[in-house]
Chain A
Amino acid sequence: MNHIFLQILTGLQISALYMLIALGLTLIFGTLGVVNFAHGALFMLGAYFAVEISSQFGFGVAIIAVPILLFIIGIIMERGLIRFFYERPHTDQILVTFGLAIVLGEVMKTIYGANNLPFDIPKWGSGIVRLHEYLPFLEGFVAYPKWRLILIVVSFSTVISLFTLLQFTKFGLIVRAGMRDSQMLAFLGVNITRRFTIVFGIGSVIAAIAGLFGGPITQVEPEVGMHMLIPSFLVVVIGGMGSLPGAVLASLILGMSISFTAEYAALQQIIIYLIAVIILLVRPRGLMGKKGLME
């Protein structure tokens, strides 16, 4: 019982991080139709900013400042670069965002060096939680790092907020309509371009949250962006490109499969790829991909 419970918890924690990065990716793909190879770099920037700001002003300031910074960077990225690529082939979009990912990684390497930066967890988040004191069905002593539990909570809250934003606000309604048929919306006199720019910013904010809370768990080094991007891409593809519930579901599947194969190290390293291959062979458009979209 204890064992399975801990594996589920670890699975949730692994999914939590992939979910955050994949959500931003799939949101941007679904609205703007852009495959953003630089999304991992946004996560990396988030982690670096979090380290820098929290060491200067404390983590509380970082929680507010990092998402704002990344929102601005996201807007600049979309207005300054990505928007010129909407009319160009997808290949060019991949190439230019790939180039951007390299440049951002190298800039950070130039400033901070190639080594892992130590990311100190704030006092209120360090230590362990004695889970057996709260959950009666656990036997004996069961503890889990507090920070990882916080990551799970933050991640799922972010997912819920994003769904609320898209499902229950006027902004969300317009964005969802724009995902279906942006041309029609433009004919109706809705400034969809501006909304989409904001969506890109929101995607960057989610990457910032991932960097803030995931940074202490992954690593803070220039390569981490690409390292996190590849599994997140798999999450997006398995879930179905552009599908937010799909991304959530797929990240849970991948997180759990990594966690439950922990005892078989040889399998653990490749399990997510195997699952991806099987799912895509059976269901090429992903678990919840919409028919006709990117098929």
Chain B
Amino acid sequence: MNKSTSIFSKYPIPIFSLVVLSFPFWFEYIGGYPGLDTKILIWALMALGFDILLGFTGYLSFGHAIFFGVSAYATGLMLKHFSPEIIPAMFIAVIVGTIMAFAVGYLTMKRSGIYFSILTLAFGEMLNSAALSTLQDITGGDNGLTIPDVKPVLFGIRMDGLSMYFLAAAILILGYYLARRIATSPFGLILKAIKSNQERLEYTGIDVQKYKLGGFVISAIYASIAGSLMVIYEPYVATEYLHWSTSGELVIMSVMGGVGTLVGPMIGAAFMLYFENVLSVPLGEEWLLVLGIIFMAIVIFLPGGFMEGLARIKKRYFNKSNKEEK
């Protein structure tokens, strides 16, 4: 173990908070622009929750756009028709997202890995086409849900710019703290045991189904909060939020960052948005092609993502210095 990792593993929450809270003040020096930082945090929150499912249980969901999108629509409708105050909007959005998670999780979680991926993808598409056609009177159909002249507020404080950033930051830090607690809790350990050997776990008499569903719902709640925050940050519900490509992007960023590490997917989210919005300027139209190639290269050569890469570099560096000492 390198020194820097040991510092981080000693004080993970303070260091994480420091990075997140100071982020908007140095982000522009590496090419970021105001607003992108908030977006990164929102995606990071979703990726963090996704890791509780994919990283712990190994279940690859291609339908997390469901929870992001549904709660985005719920938030949008609440802000539009009820009040610009965000607490009731977020509350309803999370409840809707949770109910959705129980329904989808119950129907898909019975199945093994491949079925699960395909079924979540199909459910996502079902809701997407429902939102675009069947429910278009409510959702605005292909135009997305426009929320004209609504300025979201929290206790009368207008949520924009830095105040919005710090709201997202507070939620992300809390989310990270909880995710770490879950990781070390008996519940989290059972989730991890599902990944390594589900059958053996079943033989011990544990109701695996219940735990899997629990993991799925928790990860969906993260996605719901992220979806809700996205609409508060930018009061408009884009149709992409419910499209499978949102799920796909989530998968890509999580895998690039390093599945199962909690920090990795968040780094992946930051990398992906940075890539999409900053590095895409010099790359032009082909940025997604480049990203796809990077993603494939990581899946092939570095299944642990950036985090594994980091660990490998450190190991090599560490071993070298070790030899020199000898």
Q: Number of residues in A with C-beta < 8 Å to the partner?
A: 41
Residue pair B125, A99 in contact (C-beta under 8 Å)? no
Separation of A99 and B295 alpha carbons in the complex (Å): 6
Q: Which residue of A lies closest to B300 (CB)?
A: A96
Residues of B within 8 A of A284 (CB): 110-111
Judged by a CB distance under 8 angstroms, whether B112 is at the interface is yes
- Choose among A35, A84, A270, A295 the residue with the greatest number of B CB atoms under 10 Å from its CB: A270
Residues of A within 8 A of B7 (CB): none
With A98-B248, A294-B114 in contact, do A266 and B122 touch (Cβ < 8 Å)?
no
Residue pair A92, B299 in contact (C-beta under 8 Å)? yes
Judged by a CB distance under 8 angstroms, whether A273 is at the interface is yes
With A266-B133, A269-B133, A281-B107 in contact, do A103 and B296 touch (Cβ < 8 Å)?
yes
Judged by a CB distance under 8 angstroms, whether B101 is at the interface is no
Separation of A280 and B111 alpha carbons in the complex (Å): 10
Judged by a CB distance under 8 angstroms, whether A90 is at the interface is yes
Judged by a CB distance under 8 angstroms, whether A106 is at the interface is yes
With A270-B129, A294-B112 in contact, do A95 and B122 touch (Cβ < 8 Å)?
no
Residue pair B118, A237 in contact (C-beta under 8 Å)? yes
Separation of A284 and B106 alpha carbons in the complex (Å): 13
Judged by a CB distance under 8 angstroms, whether A234 is at the interface is yes
Judged by a CB distance under 8 angstroms, whether B285 is at the interface is yes
Residues of B within 8 A of A48 (CB): none
Residues of B within 8 A of A234 (CB): 118, 122
> CB within 8 Å of A: which of B270-286?
285-286
Residues of A within 8 A of B299 (CB): 92, 95-96, 99
* A contact face: mostly helix, strand, loop, or mixed: helix
Judged by a CB distance under 8 angstroms, whether A226 is at the interface is yes
Q: Which of B115, B130, B285 contacts A294 (CB 8 A)?
A: B115
Q: How far is the CB of B20 from chain A (nearest CB, A)?
A: 28
Judged by a CB distance under 8 angstroms, whether B255 is at the interface is yes
Residues of A within 8 A of B121 (CB): 230, 233
Q: Which residue of A lies closest to B111 (CB)?
A: A284
Q: Which residue of A lies closest to B294 (CB)?
A: A99
Judged by a CB distance under 8 angstroms, whether A100 is at the interface is yes
With A106-B292, A110-B286, A277-B107 in contact, do A94 and B123 touch (Cβ < 8 Å)?
no
Judged by a CB distance under 8 angstroms, whether A56 is at the interface is no
Residue pair B289, A233 in contact (C-beta under 8 Å)? no
Mark each residue of chain A from 258 to 293: 1 if its CB lies under 8 Å from any CB of chain B, else 0: 000000011101100110110011001000000000
Residue pair A273, B60 in contact (C-beta under 8 Å)? no
Q: Which residue of B lies closest to A88 (CB)?
A: B303
Residue pair B126, A270 in contact (C-beta under 8 Å)? yes
Residue pair B130, A276 in contact (C-beta under 8 Å)? no
> CB within 8 Å of B: which of A29-74?
35
Residue pair B112, A94 in contact (C-beta under 8 Å)? no
Q: How far is the CB of A26 from chain B (nearest CB, A)?
A: 12
With A95-B255, A99-B295, A284-B110 in contact, do A106 and B286 touch (Cβ < 8 Å)?
yes
- Choose among B60, B111, B112, B299 the residue with the greatest number of A CB atoms under 10 Å from its CB: B299
Mark each residue of chain B from 16 to 49: 1 if its CB lies under 8 Å from any CB of chain A, else 0: 0000000000000000000000000000000000
Q: Which of A35, A84, A91, A110 contacts B58 (CB 8 A)?
A: A91
Residue pair B60, A91 in contact (C-beta under 8 Å)? yes
Residue pair B112, A92 in contact (C-beta under 8 Å)? no
Residues of A within 8 A of B296 (CB): 96, 99-100, 103
Residue pair A233, B118 in contact (C-beta under 8 Å)? yes
Instruction: Provide a sorted-by-A list of 14 A–B residue pairs whose CB atoms are within 8 angstroms.
Output: A35-B114, A88-B303, A91-B113, A91-B117, A96-B300, A102-B248, A102-B292, A103-B292, A109-B289, A226-B244, A233-B121, A234-B118, A273-B125, A294-B112
Interface residues of B (CB under 8 A from A): 54, 58, 60, 107, 110-115, 117-119, 121-123, 125-126, 129-130, 132-134, 244, 248, 251-252, 255, 285-286, 288-289, 291-293, 295-296, 299-300, 303
Interface residues of A (CB under 8 A from B): 35, 81, 84, 88-92, 94-96, 98-100, 102-103, 106-107, 109-110, 226, 230, 233-234, 236-237, 241, 265-267, 269-270, 273-274, 276-277, 280-281, 284, 294-295
